[in-house]
Amino acid sequence: MIRTLTDRYLAGLRLTGTRQRIADTKVRGLMIRVGRQGKTWYFRYRNNGPTKYLKLGEYPAIKLANARARALKARALLADHRDPIAEERKATAPEAPPTSPPPFTFADFVPVFVTFQRGRTKSWYAEEQMIKRHLLGPWGTTPIRDITRQHVHEVLDHAVSKGLTIGVNRLQAAISRLFTIALDRGHIDAHPAARLIKRFKEQPRERTLDDNELRALWAGLDAHPGAASDALRLRLLLGQRGEETVGMCWSEIDLNAGVWKLPARRTKNARPHVVALPASALAILKRCRKTLADDEPRVFPRLTILSDEHRALGAIHNGAYEWIDLRRTVATRLAGLSFDETTIGRTLNHAKYGVTGKHYNQHQYVEEIRRALTAWDTELQRILANKPKSKTRVLPMRGR
């Protein structure tokens, strides 16, 4: 049935067992369904498919004027190519509960720590490698606030079980620094590694290489040619630190003048250092220069003291000593060649204590270092050739 609906007509409609639908002539699509249960408003429409019915509400709760307004709103949605029923469901759907941000994990914090350390310490790369090797596996997805003292002990105990000794103390120190920075930045409320007792007592090392060990080392390096072997030869010839030698750049080398100029940013004591290069060291560097591209910035591209190539050379001595002992060997041998502690300290670029040494004395001792390392180069070649020592003792020349 179709007719113009009025409030009086609607009020007079009787509820019967027979359903009837009465469409309004004023608003196309508006209709009221009358049955035993009551009078219900609907908006009837088609939207690229079968006829649909949008329920608008019950009469008399929804008056005629209100029903027409709702029907007109539905028609406007159709004109905008939107389905009235779908829009009604969106409007009445319960709001999704707010989602909490994902927890800040240990893996999330690692880049923050590495970036912070990169700007203030030269050991940041070694710390980053320890984190990757020992910590990211067990802790990576764990919220950093949930890491406890027990977690720290478990990681350190596991490292000990894998054969790590003094290195466990270095790992513990790195963990402590990491959580100190996390605490400072508000990522944790308590430090899980504070005041941990070290697992191994450290003693000052006194190990130096004797003549036979020096010959065996050199022969082992000859049997394993490569960048790592050349870097170790230079460490033995020059007595400089491992990371400084491995990271040597061509911009620091003057082959004509025979010097290696270490910038302050690459030295442990943050002071520039000039190393005079003896003949054997120069020969190694010139050979390396010939094998590399002209635009290669590093003497030993991609080599680090933790790289597999470098670590594999430990098979030469099977743990009888450590590579840091090469530096102590150079210092000890220079003393045996009658060089004083000042010259040895300057050669090895030890920190300068006192106001005069740190701030006023800027002499770089290049010639003194040249005499010392040249004497050591000569002595090392004698040892490698297994020749007897000269009975004549030659004292090093002193500067005027």
d(CA 145, CA 16): 69
d(CA 117, CA 127): 9
Q: Which residue carries 């359903």 as its tokens?
A: 19
Residues 6+ apart with CB under 8 A from 11: 60
Domains 2-92 and 106-184 are alike in CATH topology: no
pLDDT at 357 over 60: no
CB 58 within 8 A of CB 39: yes
d(CA 304, CA 122): 13
Per-residue pLDDT tens digits for 364-378: 689 999 999 999 999
d(CA 231, CA 244): 10
The CATH code that applies to domain 211-384 is: 1.10.443.10
Task: State whether CATH 3.30.505 applies to domain 106-184.
Answer: no
35-43 long-range contacts (CB < 8 A, ≥24 apart) are: 39/10, 39/13, 39/15, 41/67, 41/70, 43/70, 43/71, 43/74, 43/75, 43/84
d(CA 164, CA 63): 84
Q: Which residue carries 């190393």 as its tokens?
A: 275
What pLDDT does residue 121 have? 80
Where in the chain are the domains? 2-92, 106-184, 211-384
Chain centre distance of CA 213: 38
d(CA 156, CA 246): 29
CB 46 within 8 A of CB 57: no
d(CA 181, CA 39): 70
For residue 97, CA distances in Å to 89, 92, 94 come to 18, 15, 9
Q: Which CATH number fits domain 2-92: 1.10.150.120, 3.90.110.10, 3.40.50.720, 3.30.160.390?
A: 3.30.160.390
The residue type found at 43 is: F
- Range among 90-104, 272-286, 338-352 with highest mean pLDDT value: 272-286
* φ and ψ at residue 143, rounded to 5 degrees: -55, 135
Bridge partners of residue 31, in order along the sequence: 23, 42
Q: Which residue carries 């030890």 as its tokens?
A: 350
Q: Give 113 or 124, the one with higher predicted confidence.
A: 113
pLDDT averaged over every residue in the chain: 88
Structure tokens at 28: 């196309």
What pLDDT does residue 240 have? 95
**Nearest residue to 331 via CA among 342, 321, 320:** 342
Per-residue pLDDT tens digits for 307-328: 889 989 999 998 898 898 999 9
What pLDDT does residue 352 have? 61
CA triple 138-142-147, angle to 5 deg? 85
Per-residue pLDDT tens digits for 68-84: 999 999 999 988 888 88
